[in-house]
Amino acid sequence: MRLKRLLAIMPLAASLLCAGAAVAQPRPTEPFAETVFVNGRIFTANAFSGVAEAVAIADGKFVAVGSSETVRRRIGPATVVHDLKGGMAMPSITDMHIHPVRGGLAQLSYCKFSDRLDRGGVLEAVATCVEAKQPGEWVEGAQWDAKLAQSLDKAALDRIAPNNPVYLHDNTNHIIWVNSAALAAAGIDKTTRDPAGGQILRDPRTGEPTGVLMESAIALVFNAKPKPSAQDIERGAAWIFQKLNSYGVTSVQTGQAEAADLAAYRKLEAEGRLTVRVKTNWDFNTPLASVAPEKMLERFDTRAERGPVSDLINPDGGKIYADGIAIGAGSPYLEPYSSAPTYGRPAIDSSSLNTAVLQMDRLGLSIMIHAMGDAAVRSSLDAIESARRANGNSGKRHVIAHTFSVAPEDMGRARRLNVAFENSPPVVLFPNELMDATVVLLGRERTRAVGPIRSLIAAGDTVGYGSDWDNIPEPNPWLALQAMVTRQNPSAPERGYLARTEAIDVITGLEVLTINGAYGLGLEDRTGSIEVGKDADLIILNQDLLKVSVGDIHKTRVLRTILRGKTIFAADGSR
């Protein structure tokens, strides 16, 4: 019997021995990498937020992540080897909210002045710009301090620009100051009604427009001024994308888009000059939209208008304004304002908001909803929830932008609805003049709870970073990171803290800049973390953010930025 058993198991034993022999044999040599980085401290933003020593890159992908010893096995005769010498690297950054064309054009052609100037200083700066213009040419400029709005009038601009229309943005881009020539070009006079969601400020005695227009009323003048040329749009976009690369940003979501903007992005991509991934959001029911939301939706029921998704461009998004800003009560809250007997006003009524979200979701568009006040955030979540019930989960991830104030009972809803929050701009995370005004508008308690990043993440929601440039001077993510961690003003820490209980740790902040932003854009399977198989998007830093004092985070400089394995920025000019 024992012999029979032995004979029976001999074939099995032989097969196991053969299998063991096969396992013991050396594995075939793995292909050599094109580029490797060794001897570093590489924050991966993977599921464990681990740190690796080295990475290997081939065909635009990470093919190895781990120890320097492991990665060195991928070095071949043609491999480019970078010794990080203990320096820090991390995934490149996603900016979930930026206005690249508007800001690029402003940089190249606007009359630029600081929002720290008083009324007289602004007029002096604009007068200099007018001197360089021909009669009849528009003078467009920025940025004046929004707190000046009630003290401004068209007469002051008329005196320095009697022959030129003048159009000046404030530092929120929700208010403009114009002269009589600009009002005339737009056909605005004392009989012009305020559009829904907007306001034309008027002289209380005469009813004449003062020259200050808020929220949706901006469109009346915006649509009357000349459009920029295709060449200028392309130049502006290329300029800001290169600047973003210098900060380590390789993926962006635009806060607005027009056909001319998309054409510029596609031209840059076709010529190999597009150095960021771009997710565009078309304007629906925005203060600057030239047609009604339903007309816009008719244009987007096919790809004829927006075109295909390409390697670097995703045109399948739309933006809705649920509200504006708290200044002028342009943002609705669940409780009345402290400064006036009002709950604020929405930019769109709830029925129209629900309909627009329902239709856009049905078309397969991902949606960005501008929502600052807690009532606007709630109505946005309600609209998305209704669309999910009606359409099912389209798989498209929607985004609620700004999330300045969020009611505790609405925290956690975004996760269940496949929605990401975006927090911007960074200046709402620390004490400054804008926050001083917010205390007056909203009161102490609500101001101490703004920008609730920590609470949202604790509730299971995903929060990403947005600069909201050009509403701020620089799209600098390192300033934002320090603000998220300290809730202090990096340039004036003595001013104290803003909503200190919402401060997060550095590692969470790095996740907000990287994998969370990628998630918000629906790109988490491609970028946002350093893992084998993902696009090789990587930045090298001048300091180790896991070791430096939190007060020094804003001193971070990017030494090299890599998109899909290719260097697109190097501080020393190398490639």
Let me know if residue 476 belongs to a domain: yes
Tell me which residue range forms the domain holding 429.
322-504
Provide mean pLDDT across the span 421-436.
91
| Residues linked to residue 196 through DSSP beta bridges, in sequence order | none
Let me know if residue 291 belongs to a domain: no
Handedness of CA 361, 312, 100, 109 (dihedral sign): negative
Residues 49 and 151 in one domain: no
Provide mean pLDDT across the span 385-401.
94
Residues 214 and 346 in one domain: no
Higher-confidence residue: 527 or 147? Answer: 527
Let me know if residue 286 belongs to a domain: no
DSSP H or E segment with residue 64: strand 61-66
Confidence band of 293 (pLDDT split at 50, 70, 90): low
pLDDT tens for each residue of 160-195:
999 999 999 898 878 999 999 999 999 999 999 998
| Whether residue 5 has pLDDT greater than 60 | no
CATH (domain of 386): 3.20.20.140
Let me know if residue 1 belongs to a domain: no
Residues 143 and 67 in one domain: no
Reference 180, options 197, 203, 159; nearest CA is 159
Alpha-carbon distance 178 to 167, whole Å?
5
Provide mean pLDDT across the span 34-63.
98
Q: Tokens 């009606």 correspond to what residue?
A: 390
What number of H helices and E strands is found in the chain? 19, 24
Residues 470 and 327 in one domain: yes
Handedness of CA 31, 37, 41, 46 (dihedral sign): negative
CB within 8 A of 81, min separation 6: which ones? 35, 36, 38, 75
Let me know if residue 333 belongs to a domain: yes
CATH (domain of 165): 3.10.310.70
Residues 133 and 195 in one domain: yes
Let me know if residue 538 belongs to a domain: yes
Residues 136 and 110 in one domain: yes
Residues 560 and 465 in one domain: no
Residues 161 and 211 in one domain: yes
Tally the domains of the chain: 3
Let me know if residue 494 belongs to a domain: yes
Confidence band of 27 (pLDDT split at 50, 70, 90): very low
How high is the pLDDT of residue 444? 95
Alpha-carbon distance 257 to 235, whole Å?
16
| Whether residue 459 has pLDDT greater than 80 | yes
Two tokens at 288? Answer: 């600057």
- Give the DSSP per-residue string, 449-513: T-S-HHHHHHTT--EEE---TTSSS---HHHHHHHHHH-S-TT-GGG--SSGGG---HHHHHHII
Residues 344 and 380 in one domain: yes
How high is the pLDDT of residue 7? 40
Residues 533 and 385 in one domain: no
Alpha-carbon distance 526 to 530, whole Å?
10
Backbone angles phi, psi at 416, to 5 degrees: -70, -25
Residues 493 and 354 in one domain: yes
Let me know if residue 569 belongs to a domain: yes
| Whether residue 472 has pLDDT greater than 90 | no
Residues 336 and 473 in one domain: yes
Confidence band of 23 (pLDDT split at 50, 70, 90): very low
pLDDT tens for each residue of 488-508:
999 899 999 999 999 999 999
Average pLDDT, the chain: 91
| Whether residue 453 has pLDDT greater than 50 | yes
Provide mean pLDDT across the span 274-300.
78
pTM (predicted TM-score)? 0.87
